[in-house]
Structure 1
Amino acid sequence: MFLVPVNRNLSDLSRSLDRFFDDSFFSDGRDASAATLRSPALDVSESETAYTVRLDMPGVPKDAVKVHIDGRRISIDAEQRKDDEKKDGERVIYRERTVSRFSRSFTLPQEISQGDSNASLDQGVLTLKLAKRAASVASQLTVN
């Protein structure tokens, strides 16, 4: 059985091209259900005290998101699992929704204070409030 789309738009074409260049298309012996690595789109805004970063991560549960802060470098990793739930007498004809890994790293202009920062995930959007590390106060050394 083949699925034939009745109408095509730009997103269908984009999805088709993504599938064409997907590693599983070239059947190199790997499992077609292997994780697909995605780099989520992000927006960064800045205030005097913090950076706000928003990333699109649809379908990812909160406990699957890992945020690592190392000075100015921020790394975000997450994994979305597919549902393997089948009803009795049902068989899968076609599947595009597989395991997806989201990974993104970037460097900000100023170091981040991890203790004052927080993260929240609401309706598929990860929001990071990254507090800027306070500049060290200049001091003078006494010469002995």
Structure 2
Amino acid sequence: MFLVPTSRQAHDLSRSLERLFDDSFGNVFGQDARELSQALRSPALDVSETDSAYTVKLEMPGVPKEAVKITVDGRRISVEAEQNKDEEKKDGERVLYRERSVSRFSRSFSLPQEISESDSSARMEHGVLTLTLAKRQAKGGARLTVS
């Protein structure tokens, strides 16, 4: 039976389990736990809609806006980014413990309607990428003449 202490927050428990597995697998496979933590992450997202556009918000903490690549292909949207770790060391300094490492984010999804790339925009604020994706307007109907 596995008991979960009620005084501990779920996040703390989850983090402890991640550390346990990182350390265990690192020892078993002879790899550094930091290498194992460079896994691809799928950022959480929220999608809302108006008559003219979709608004998509993705959580990407610590990622600079220059590292974000957004691809629009009809109804399909792909977002990729990489957050690099700081390798800055001062003379005489040594790292005792490190949990922060390279994080790669990737997420692809399809929307119900095609997107107009030229009318869409993206901005990054406080670790949240906000995409305003304009819906492609249907072209007006044309009449055909019967000959």
TM-score tier by shorter-chain length is 0.7 to 0.9
Checking the alignment, whether the CA contact within 8 Å between 2:53 and 2:133 is kept in structure 1 is: yes
User: Is residue 2:28 matched to residue 1:26?
Assistant: no
Aligned residues: 137
Give the TM-score normalised by structure 2: 0.83
In the TM superposition, what whole-angstrom CA distance separates every residue of 1:34-54 from its partner, at most 9, and x where no partner exists?
A: 432111111111000000001
CA deviation string 1:110-129 (max 9, x = no partner): 00000000000011110000
Instruction: Map 1:50-129 to 2 at 5 A.
Output: 50-129=53-132
Task: Tell me how far apart the structure 2 counterparts of residues 119 and 60 of structure 1 sit (CA, whole Å).
Answer: 14
Q: Distance in 2 between matches of 1:49 and 1:74?
A: 17
Structure 2: gaps (5+ residues):
1-6
- Alignment correspondent of 1:15: 15
Give 2:3's aligned residue: none
Instruction: Show CA shifts across 1:62-102 (max 9, x none).
Output: 10000000000000000000001112222111111010001
Identify the structure with the greater helix proportion.
2
* CA 21–143 in structure 1, closer or farther in 2 if over 3 Å, else same: farther
Structure-2 separation of matches of 1:85 and 1:8? 34
Partner of 1:3: none
Q: Which consecutive unaligned segments of at least 5 residues does structure 1 have?
A: 1-6
Q: Percent identity?
A: 66
The alpha-carbon deviation at position 135 of structure 1 amounts to 1.1
Q: Aligned match of 1:49 in 28, 52, 75? A: 52
User: How far off its partner does 1:140 sit?
Assistant: 2.7
- Cα distance in 2 between the residues matched to 1:105 and 1:19: 28
